[in-house]
Amino acid sequence: MTNQGGGVLLYYNGSSKLTTTNTGISVTGNADISSEVQVGGAGSKFAENNLRFNSAGAAYIDHAITSQDINFRVSKLR
């Protein structure tokens, strides 16, 4: 279906799950990605058990609220 100049919505069981916007997409709920998500055009990506940053320049993991900690942990396998 063509909706020229407007967004497109995908539904599951009567609930909107994926919407196209003027800047990309909006997902409601979980997104199960079977491979990887590439971020930008410089080689940064998210994949299962992997967060890889482009080798050039600085890499950051930011928290949206100042004075808050970011905790990293290693969990034992069960």
If one counts the domains in the chain, the total is: 1
The verdict on residue 15 lying in a domain is yes
Q: How large is the average pLDDT for residues 14-21? A: 91
The verdict on residue 3 lying in a domain is no
Domain of residue 22 covers 9-52
Q: What is the pLDDT of residues 18-77, one digit of tens each?
A: 999 888 889 999 888 888 887 777 777 877 777 777 777 777 777 778 788 888 877 776
- The predicted structure's pLDDT at residue 11: 94
Q: In sequence order, what are the residues at sequence separation of 6 or more whose Cβ sits closer than 8 angstroms to the Cβ of residue 26?
A: 18, 19
Q: Which residue has the higher pLDDT, 6 or 49?
A: 6
- The predicted structure's pLDDT at residue 15: 92
The verdict on residue 60 lying in a domain is no
Identify the burial level of 18 via C-beta atoms within 10 angstroms of its C-beta, where 0-12 means exposed, 13-18 middle and 19 or more buried: middle
Residue 2 has pLDDT above 60, yes or no: no
Residue 10 has pLDDT above 80, yes or no: yes
Q: What is the pTM of this model?
A: 0.53
